[in-house]
Structure 1
Amino acid sequence: MRVSMRSALSSLGVVFTAYLAVGGMIWTVTPDHPLLMVGAIGLYLVTVWLCIFWNPVTAPLPVWLVVLSLVTAVIVPNVTWFAAGTDARLQAYATWGLGGISALMAILVVRRRVWAAWFGVAIIVVTGSFWIGIVNALSLGAVGAVVWVGIAQLVTGLMARAARDTAELTELQRSSSEWLASQSGRRRERRVTVQRAIALAGPVLTRVIETGGVLDDEERAQARLTEGRLRDELRGRRLLDDDVRVQLEAVRRRGTEVTMLDEGGLDGVDEDQLTVIRGELAKALSDARSERVFIRTSQHESIAVTVVGRSRSEDDPDGEDVVDLWHEIRWPAVREPEAVEGAAEAQDRVGVED
């Protein structure tokens, strides 16, 4: 549709400018210099059609073509009046150049050369005043030149504004669609999380209700494991797969307290990278023998996940915990720019309080 519209406008411009040029060929009296008259018409048609069809249509005209248009605005009216002769300068075939150059300047406006167009209007006003007087120049086409160029600038400005508004509306629609899609994804994610939480905690809660909160040691241990699984699902679901879940439960059954925290460091990471990260995490957990293990994602440019284990010192059981496990999982491949944009230069990978 856009291409056909441009073709129609271009065709209209060709027909109109050709009509103006034909006016210069209808001689009621033979000009003093007919060949010069024909040459001026030929120069005009070549210039104006170059301006119409020069590609790309949406780009400004090149400087050389703007210069050619202004040169044509100087040559065509002067040559036409000179060729027509002294007695015929007010004839229609002698004054056609005023309308023809006005159309050329309007085309310059459409092709985003506004100041050159107004300079061309000034040229034909001055030229017409020199050959036929200011009053005749204004009445025979100079005023029309001002009106045509002014209207062309107004319409072009309105169209450009409409195009900007359309682009802004399109961007708003795209942003709205993305927001709706993200909200839909989050709602689905919340439903999945709730369903998993019900599946995990349902049996334990049912047992608690049945016994009035009086659980034996095995049931209490199972409740603690369930609580840990729920925390993992809520705080670090992107770190979890079947192998990681198995290792987390194994670590907890050995009496280790596990804290997992995903603070958005894995946003924008593809599934292949997550698979590698999860595999290394499962391997690190299988070797963990610490009393407390902290798993934390990172926004560091080279570290994806940090696993820290802390235990009481054998030499000073009442003192502060010591770090007996430190494992950094590096990025298996270069992260996407969106995933690291805005990330901190470095993140405290140890900052886990008791």
Structure 2
Amino acid sequence: MIRVRSVLLALAFAMTAYLAATGLWWRGPVDYPILAVATLVLYLATTWLCIFWWPKTDAASGGSERGAGKLPGLAQGLALAAAAIVPTAIAIAVGEESRLQSYGTWYLGGIGALMTVVMARRRPWAAWIGIGMLAAGSMTWMGPANALAQGLVGSVVWVLAAQLLVLSMDRAARDTDRLAQLQRAASGWQASQLVRQRERRVQVQRALQVAGPVLTRTVASGGALTEDERLEARLAEGRLRDELRGPRLLDDDVRAELERARRRGATVTVLDEGGLDGLEEHDLADIRAQLAETLRSAGSDRLYIRTSPHETVAVTVVGRSMPTDGRSAGPSDEDAVDLWREIPLPGRASVDAR
């Protein structure tokens, strides 16, 4: 496939070759032909070096990235040297009588084309310095009016147009980068929303499975439930709260132990407050197994199960019970802590149950 850069390089090569050929079409006397030819060779070598010398990183990437394709410093120096030397050398070589002939004024377009290449290769200061040298040299040898009439204005316009084009391309590249970032952010947001929607659907399905039968019986009986049905309603409420507040802590064994604790009259609170993000499924399975074992041996009246943001602790299980002397008529802040277990994150030291 023909790339855009290849086409532009071919056009630049053809344009500079045509301008140099104009300098060889002598239709009148030339005082120093060898100097004229040597100057043309210097111009062509410098111009084609600026056109075709691309660093390896730019050549590999096709020069498509913003800021790529910057003209190397050596080529930039040679271009400025050509801008300073060529006008004077050609004016001396063709002689005073031929300085306004086409083969004596070709360098106005030639140096202008070279500075356009320099500008396109992202050396704006060098390009404008070269245009200043061209203007000074041409006006010195042929006069300001003749220099402007013979092509100096066109060279300035070329370089200015190249600068505006480069600025527009850079702006477009920045806008493209910004759009790509916004698209990635939008895609990530959309993916997270889809995941949340799936999680909500799963939770709703679980809620219907847990609470659906109890609600059906409640509606059918008009709210007149037996003691067993009331117990089942409380258990269903607890299961539903567990599914909503701490789904990552639950598996079949943990659910069974939570229900067993509630059936014996314990109040159980399960909260997932963070700290399990990024864990693999086998790590979560290990944490759940330890949680089920802890609940299996628990006899507390109130159980609090919470995930922990601590760097070494995954889950904290706290059990509290009424004092054994029976002075407290119900749960209070004076309840004794009879269970404390910190389940460590995988690979961290554990804290023994108490």
Say whether the fold is shared (TM-score over 0.5).
Answer: yes
Tell me which residue corresponds to 1:174. Answer: 184
Contact 1:303–1:330 (CA under 8 A) maintained in structure 2: yes
Give the match for residue 89 of structure 1: 99
Asked if 1:294 corresponds to 2:304, the answer is yes
Question: How many Å separate the matches in 1 of 2:263 and 2:215?
Answer: 20
Q: Could you list the per-position Cα deviations for residues 199-248 of structure 1 after superposition, in whole angstroms to 9, with x for gaps in the alignment?
A: 11111112222333333333322222211110011111222233332332
The reply to whether residue 210 of structure 1 matches residue 224 of structure 2 is: no
Give per-residue Cα distances to partners, 1:260-283, cap 9 Å, x unaligned.
222344445444443343333333
User: Hey, what does 1:39 align to over in structure 2?
Assistant: 38
Q: 1:331 aligned to 333, 345, 348, which one?
A: 345
**Which residue pairs with 1:337 in the alignment?**
none
Amino acid at match of 2:40: I
Query: Which residue in 1 is equivalent to 2:251?
Result: 241
5+ residue gaps, structure 2? 349-354
Distance, in Å, in 1 between the alignment partners of 2:337 and 2:32 is 103
Deviations 1:112-160 (A, max 9, x none): 2212211111111111122222222222222112101111111222222
Conserved in 2, the CA contact under 8 Å of 1:303 and 1:331? yes
AA paired with 1:108? V
The offset of 1:315, in angstroms, is 6.5
Matches within 5 A, 1:133-172: 133-172=143-182
2:120 aligns to what? 110
Distance 1:237 1:96 in 2: 81
Distance 1:134 1:277, change over 3 A: farther
> Equivalents in 1 of 2:228, 2:8: separation in Å?
84
* SS class of match (1:324): strand
- 2:108 equivalent to 1:98: yes
Sequence identity of aligned pairs in percent?
Answer: 54
Tell me the distance in 1 between the aligned counterparts of 2:127 and 2:172.
23
Structure 1: distance between partners of 2:69 and 2:274? 44
Measured after TM superposition, the shift of residue 21 of structure 1 is 1.9
**Aligned partners of 2:285, 2:32: CA distance in 1, in Å?**
86
Distance 2:142 2:219 in 1: 107
Q: Which amino acid aligns with 2:39?
A: A
Match of 1:351 in 2: none
Alignment correspondent of 2:47: 48
Tell me what 1:349 maps to: none
Query: Using a 3 Å threshold, how does the CA distance of structure 1 residues 139 and 326 change in structure 2: closer, same or farther?
Result: farther
CA-CA distance at 1:317 after TM superposition: 5.4
- Aligned 8 A contact 2:29 2:98 in 1: no
Q: Distance in 2 between matches of 1:5 and 1:93?
A: 32
> Given the alignment of the two structures, is residue 191 of structure 1 paired with residue 201 of structure 2, yes or no?
yes
Q: Please state whether the residue corresponding to 1:295 is helix, strand or coil.
A: strand
Matches of 1:134 and 1:286, distance apart in 2: 101
TM-score (norm 1): 0.83
Q: Distance in 1 between matches of 2:92 and 2:6?
A: 36
Structure 2 partner of 1:231:
241
CA distance in 2, matches of 1:126, 1:216: 107
Q: State yes or no: 1:200 paired with 2:199.
A: no
Kept after mapping to 1: 8 A contact 2:100/2:142: yes
Asked if the contact 2:116/2:162 (under 8 Å) is kept, the reply is: yes
CA shift, 1:23, in A, is 1.8
- State the match for 2:352 in structure 1: none
- Describe the superposition over 1:294-353 as per-residue Cα deviations: whole angstroms up to 9, x where unpaired: 22233344433333333334468536134333333343379xxxxxxxxxxxxxxxxxxx
Residues 1:156 and 1:290: Cα distance change in structure 2 (over 3 Å): same
Alignment correspondent of 2:27 = 28
Change (3 A) 1:213 1:30: same
Q: Do 1:273 and 1:333's aligned partners in 2 also have CA atoms closer than 8 Å?
A: no
Give 2:351's aligned residue. Answer: none
What is the distance in 1 between the residues matched to 2:28 and 2:243? 96
Aligned length: 333
Quickly say closer, same or farther: Cα 1:68–1:308, change in 2 above 3 A.
Answer: farther
> Partners of 1:282 and 1:20 in 2: how far apart?
87
